[in-house]
Amino acid sequence: MKLSVKIQKDRDKCMRNLQWNIYTYRHRRAFAYCVNKLIHDPVLKEEMQKRAEVHDMDKMLMYLFLDQHTAQLLHVQRQPHHLENSLPRSYEDLVETVIDYECAPYTKQDKPLNAYDFVLKLHDMRLLDEETMNSLISIMKELHIDHSGTVSEDTEGLAYITGLGEVTEEMILEEILVYLHDHPDNELEWVLDQAHSGIRL
């Protein structure tokens, strides 16, 4: 059954996490903005723009069929840009981590720290080892963001995010359907398997 038909048949259930998909939609826009603003090396920029297209889309799919808590935990377990798991990580994964941290304050009021301050906080809390902290700070130096700061300093970025306006259910569904069309190796079948299994974490 096509996803669009499945959603139409069970729209209320699929949209139970609408507010979390709105939250992620806006975060994805902030992530893409920071990629374009901060990365100047053309090869790395191309790679990170490709990652921006798919960043957190597995989570948006899971939000359609799983409870928010389970979707978030499964996402963190499966994505190498999340340092909480033990997956192998490339340099590009760590760049994605840094951009993820740096863009968070643009749309997430509960996460006001920039990448530099957040990494130091994680290290102080003993949630980040010295080697990983140094690798992340090295990337921040390359991107010229190895310092404390607040999102309020970037008026252009804040204007862009504010200019997104209201994010609607239709915008969310279009985002998901475009992703499924453009990325045939997507996680939909896996997500549906998890939903059918009744998984709850």
Average pLDDT per consecutive 10 residues, the chain (201 residues; last block may be shorter): 57 76 96 97 98 97 94 97 96 98 92 95 96 98 95 91 92 94 94 92 85
The secondary structure of residue 166, as a DSSP letter, is P
Q: DSSP secondary structure string, 88-153?
A: ---HHHHHHHHHHHHHHHHH-TT----HHHHHHHHHHTTSS-HHHHHHHHHHHHHHT--S---GGG
Q: Are residues 99 and 38 in contact, defined by beta-carbon separation less than 8 angstroms?
A: yes
Report domain extents, the chain.
3-197
Tally of CB atoms within 10 A around 181? 9
pLDDT of residue 1: 46
The secondary structure of residue 183, as a DSSP letter, is -
Nearest-angstrom CA–CA distance, 52 and 135 = 21
pLDDT of residue 8: 57
Nearest-angstrom CA–CA distance, 100 and 28 = 9
The secondary structure of residue 167, as a DSSP letter, is P
